[in-house]
């Protein structure tokens, strides 16, 4: 016989109450508090935060130290003094010019100074600087002048005219050609010389500048020269024909093919050089003839530099040199 004690009854009562009572419901989720509204920005505050840092202030002492350091530089891109001096702007021009003109200093350091003069568009006695550069007869110095001259000589008409005269009359035209490439108005001047009456033996040098510099707006003048009678030199015609083709006039390949068929080995080689610049776009109906003429010309060529135009052209056309 089971005896139920008072203690047992209390335990059973507790279990019944625990099982049959209501479960406690979770508290309802609360919505996140709204983000605090920031005060409106003052006008111009964003611009002030992103404003460019103030340019370094020039001082003769700071510039002098940097110019002294520049003397040992070989190139502008790894010269620690270059960017700070350029940041000074034209104020540093006289000190840069002093280094550029100092024939006792290393040529490469002088060249870096010339590049800085161009970058700062400093005022320069361009003719005197050019004379100093030519006297040094140093390739790196000449190259620096040719690169920098566009920055400091664009308004110097006397220097521009002197360069044009040197280019027209000198036997050594390469330096003047590179300088003129950087000066405004050069291609217009060169075309005007070709359009005027002049000695035939200077036509090529003017055509070189047209080849170097002409843009689409010059195409009608180039076409006029090729259509006319005044442009006699075959090499000048090769240059203008190749430039016309580059600018969209594919009808000028015949001039280059005529050059490739020339009895003169130098005219043939010159035509091959300029044909190589436009060979990839030759019309399909002229490709076979071009390959034939190129192979024949290469076979008769003495080799060396004069052969390179033939070889480049044939490669561009996917043809073998044999």
Residue 15 reports pLDDT greater than 90: no
Residue 225 reports pLDDT greater than 60: yes
Residue 20 reports pLDDT greater than 60: no
Residue 244 reports pLDDT greater than 90: yes
C-alpha to C-alpha distance for 114 and 21, rounded to whole angstroms: 96
Confidence of residue 22 (pLDDT cuts 50, 70, 90): very low
Quote the pTM value: 0.79
> How large a percentage of the chain has pLDDT more than 70?
82
Mean per-residue pLDDT over the chain, rounded: 87
Confidence of residue 230 (pLDDT cuts 50, 70, 90): confident
In a domain, residue 228? The reply is no
pLDDT of residue 126: 95
Residue 49 reports pLDDT greater than 90: no
In a domain, residue 183? The reply is no
pLDDT of residue 56: 79
pLDDT of residue 52: 59
The model's pLDDT over 270-291, given as tens digits with 9 standing for 90+, comes to 999 999 999 999 999 999 999 9
Confidence of residue 50 (pLDDT cuts 50, 70, 90): low
pLDDT of residue 53: 63
Confidence of residue 7 (pLDDT cuts 50, 70, 90): very low
Residue 1 reports pLDDT greater than 50: no
In a domain, residue 175? The reply is no
In a domain, residue 109? The reply is yes
Looking at the 3D structure of the chain, how many domains does it have?
1
Confidence of residue 313 (pLDDT cuts 50, 70, 90): very high
In a domain, residue 303? The reply is no
Residue 21 reports pLDDT greater than 50: no
Residue 43 reports pLDDT greater than 90: no
The model's pLDDT over 204-221, given as tens digits with 9 standing for 90+, comes to 999 999 999 999 999 999
Interval 109-132 mean pLDDT? 96
Residue 198 reports pLDDT greater than 60: yes
In a domain, residue 136? The reply is yes
Residue 25 reports pLDDT greater than 90: no
pLDDT of residue 322: 77
Structural domain of 77: 57-149
In a domain, residue 40? The reply is no
Residue 183 reports pLDDT greater than 80: yes
SS3 for the chain is CCCCCHHHHHHHHHHHHHHHCCCCCCCCCCCCCCCCCCCCCCCCHHHHHHCCCCCCCCCHHHHHHHHHHHCCCCCCCCCCCHHHHHHHHHHHHHHHHHHHHCCCCCHHHHHHHHHHHHHHCCCCCHHHHHHHHHHHCCHHHHHHHHHHHHHHCCCCHHHHHHHHHHHHHCCCCHHHHHHHHCCCCHHHHHHHHHHCCCCHHHHHHHHHHHHHHCCHHHHHHHHHHHHCCCCCCHHHHHHHHHHHHHCCCHHHHHHHHHHHCCCCHHHHHHHHHHHHCCHHHCCHHHHHHHHHHHHHHHHHCCCHHHHHHHHHHHHHCCCCCC
In a domain, residue 110? The reply is yes
């Amino acid at each position: 016989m089971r005896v139920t004690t008072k203690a047992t009854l209390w335990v059973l009562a507790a279990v019944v109450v625990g099982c049959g009572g209501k479960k406690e419901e979770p508290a309802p989720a609360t919505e996140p508090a709204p983000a605090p509204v920031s005060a409106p920005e003052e006008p111009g505050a964003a611009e002030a935060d992103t404003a460019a840092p103030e340019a370094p202030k020039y001082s003769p002492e700071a510039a002098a130290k940097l110019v002294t350091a520049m003397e040992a530089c070989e190139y502008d891109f790894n010269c620690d003094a270059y960017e700070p001096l350029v940041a000074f702007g034209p104020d540093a021009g006289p000190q840069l010019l002093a280094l550029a003109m100092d024939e006792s200093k290393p040529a490469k350091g002088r060249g870096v100074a010339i590049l800085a003069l161009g970058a700062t568009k400093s005022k320069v006695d361009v003719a005197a600087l050019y004379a100093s550069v030519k006297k040094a007869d140093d390739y790196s110095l000449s190259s620096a002048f040719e690169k920098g001259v566009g920055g400091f000589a664009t308004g110097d008409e006397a220097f521009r005219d002197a360069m044009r005269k040197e280019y027209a009359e000198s036997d050594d035209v390469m330096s003047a050609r590179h300088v003129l490439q950087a000066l405004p108005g050069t291609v217009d001047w060169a075309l005007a010389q070709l359009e005027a009456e002049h000695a035939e033996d200077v036509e090529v040098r003017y055509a070189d500048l047209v080849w170097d510099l002409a843009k689409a707006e010059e195409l009608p003048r180039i076409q006029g020269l090729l259509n006319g009678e005044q442009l006699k030199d075959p090499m000048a015609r090769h240059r203008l024909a190749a430039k016309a083709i580059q600018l969209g006039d594919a009808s000028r390949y015949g001039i280059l093919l005529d050059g490739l068929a020339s009895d003169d080995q130098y005219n043939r080689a010159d035509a091959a050089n300029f044909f190589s610049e436009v060979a990839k776009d030759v019309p399909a109906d002229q490709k076979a003839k071009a390959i034939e003429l190129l192979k024949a010309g290469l076979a008769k060529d003495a080799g060396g530099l004069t052969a390179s135009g033939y070889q480049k052209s044939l490669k561009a056309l996917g043809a073998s040199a044999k």
